[in-house]
Every structure is written in C-alpha cells, then in structure tokens.
C-alpha cells in the first residue's frame, strides 16, 4: 500500500498562522507535504512557527502581513510564487474577537471587528485569486466560527462577522467554480487559544462554561480543526465547494 501524502507538492498560504488554529493548520499541511507561507502580524511567533516546521523537515516561510492591507497580501502571494513556484491553497484564518455586549461596544470596535475578520478575509481571497488562476485552480478554506449561526450576546459583533464570512464564501464559491477554484469554510466551536487573551483563571472558567454545552464532552484543539481544513484543501475534496463544516464537538447540532 502506498501512503497517501495529501498535500504533496502543494503550496499554501495561511493567514493568522503564527499561533493558535492557524499554526495548527500550517503544521498539519506541512506534515502532509505542502510548502506553507504564513502571514501574520506577530513577527516573533510567525518566524518561530516557520522555523519549527522547517526543523521537522517541512517547508515554511513567514512574512509580516496585515490582512487589512492589500499590499501586504500581494507581497505574501508573491513570496509563495517566488519561493515555491505557485499557489494552490489559501486559508484566510486571521481573526480577532472583541468581547462586549451590543450596547457597550463602540463604533471603533465595530469597524475593527469587521475590518479584520470580514474585510481581511475578502481581501485575502481577492489578492490571491489571480495566483490561483495562474495555477489553473486551487482551494480556499476560510475559518468561520460556530458563532456564525449561534447567538453569543457577550460577543455581540464577532458572530455577525463570521455570518458575513459564510455568505461571502458561498458567493465566492459560485463565482470561481468555473476557474477550478473550490471555496469552503470551517466553523470551529470553542477552543482555548490566545484569541481571548485569557488569564489562567479565565481559561479554566471558559473550559467549565463550554464543556457541558458540547455533546462530545470536551473542547477541541487546533489539530481538530486542522484535520478538517486538510481534507477541504486536498484534492480528495474535489467535489466539495460552497460548504460550511462544523468542527465543534456537536455544539451547533
């Protein structure tokens, strides 16, 4: 039996890949043969993640990237093509979560929340599409959230950015199918990462708060999300586009 290396020869961009879920995706893709180009604001963590992948025998690069700046994304795409020759897979994953209820969030909170999560996702796709077309096609896997379809009053604007991302993903999937580009989203449930800027006590409270809500009885990890992203990025999913995959321990069932 020949072992299947599911992204052998592919080149992938992962935004927000310096840490958390994005790092999990970058590492998993590299394990399966992809060259990974990480775009993130965090220079130290981004460089460390790329180094860690290379140390394990993978191929990875990091470029400081702000997903709200088109020129940064152009440079990220250019790096993928110059370092590895092409672009096959794009994972718009960078995101922020501004906590707060609807009445107390500010206009700046709203602008920032939508700017990074929604506009950053759209721009990442927009700036990468020409390279995917030059490649003859590819796959886009967007990180949405279980919060796209489940109200969370304490994150009054975060969920709406993810709901917008899901409909955007479907519009994009229909637009680019003729170019052999597939586009899907993953919708993770609660996962302990630095997204929430937790203290140790807050982290425990988060685990205690969410565990009873998850039919499987435990919180997920970045690897749980990465394994589904891997399937959607690979050619095994050649007939899958315009879909949202819950990776949430049954939370939204």
Ligand X SMILES: NC(=O)c1ccc[n+]([C@@H]2O[C@H](COP(=O)([O-])OP(=O)(O)OC[C@H]3O[C@@H](n4cnc5c(N)ncnc54)[C@H](O)[C@@H]3O)[C@@H](O)[C@H]2O)c1
Indicate which single residue of 61, 65, 155, 234 sits in contact with ligand X (rule: CB under 6 A): 65
Whole-angstrom distance, CA of residue 28 vs CA of residue 227: 7
Is residue 158 annotated as part of the catalytic site, yes or no? yes
Of the candidate spans 20-28, 50-58, 105-113, 169-177, the one that interacts with ligand X by CB under 6 A turns out to be: 20-28
By CB atoms closer than 10 A (0-12, 13-18, 19+), residue 185 is buried
Q: Hey, what are 70's tokens? A: 């088109």
CB of 4 to ligand X, least distance (A): 27
Among residues 6, 7, 10, 20, which is the contact residue for ligand X, using CB under 6 A?
A: 20
Which candidate in 84, 158, 196, 245 is catalytic? 158
Between 40 and 88, whose beta carbon lies closer to ligand X? Answer: 40
Using an 8 Å Cβ cutoff, are 59 and 36 in contact? yes
**What percent helix, strand, coil does the chain show, rounded to 5?**
50, 15, 35
Where in 181-220 is the site for ligand X (CB under 6 A)?
188, 190-191, 193-195
Cβ-based neighbour number of residue 213 at 10 Å? 14
- Residue 143 as a binder of ligand X (CB under 6 A): the answer is yes
Q: Which is nearer to ligand X, 19 or 182 (CB)?
A: 19
Let me know if 186 is exposed, middle or buried by CB neighbors in 10 A (0-12, 13-18, 19+).
Answer: buried
Long-range contacts of 207-213 (CB under 8 A, 24+ apart): 210/251, 213/251
Contacting ligand X (CB under 6 A), which of 116, 172, 183, 237?
Answer: 116
Question: Which of 127, 145, 155, 234 forms a contact with ligand X (CB under 6 A)?
Answer: 145
Site for ligand X in 34-63 (CB under 6 A): 40-42
Partnered with residue 220 across adjacent β-strands are 191
Residues belonging to the active site: 158
Q: Which stretches of the chain bind ligand X, using CB under 6 A?
A: 15-16, 18-22, 40-42, 65-68, 93-97, 116, 120, 143, 145, 188, 190-191, 193-195
């Amino acid at each position: 039996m020949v072992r299947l290396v599911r992204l052998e020869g592919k080149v992938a961009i992962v935004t927000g890949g310096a840490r958390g879920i994005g790092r999990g995706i970058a590492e998993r893709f590299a394990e399966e043969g992809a060259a990974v180009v990480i775009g993130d604001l965090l220079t130290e963590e981004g460089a460390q993640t790329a180094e860690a992948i290379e140390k394990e025998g993978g191929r990875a690069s990091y470029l400081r990237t702000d997903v709200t700046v088109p020129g940064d994304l152009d440079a990220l795409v250019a790096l993928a093509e110059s370092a590895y020759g092409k672009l096959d897979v794009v994972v718009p994953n960078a995101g922020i979560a501004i906590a707060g209820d609807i009445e107390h969030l500010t206009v700046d909170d709203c602008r920032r929340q939508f700017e990074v999560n929604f506009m950053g996702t759209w721009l990442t796709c927009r700036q990468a599409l020409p390279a995917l077309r030059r490649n003859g096609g590819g796959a886009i896997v967007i990180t949405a959230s279980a919060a796209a379809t489940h109200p969370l009053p304490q994150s009054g604007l975060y969920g709406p950015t993810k709901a917008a991302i899901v409909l955007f993903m479907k519009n994009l999937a229909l637009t680019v199918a003729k170019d052999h580009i597939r586009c899907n989203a993953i919708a993770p449930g609660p996962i302990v990462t630095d997204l929430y800027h937790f203290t140790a006590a807050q982290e425990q409270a988060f685990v205690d708060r969410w565990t009873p809500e998850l039919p499987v009885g435990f919180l997920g990890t970045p690897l749980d999300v990465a394994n589904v992203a891997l399937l959607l990025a690979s050619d095994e999913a050649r007939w899958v586009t315009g879909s949202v995959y819950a990776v949430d321990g049954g939370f939204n069932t």
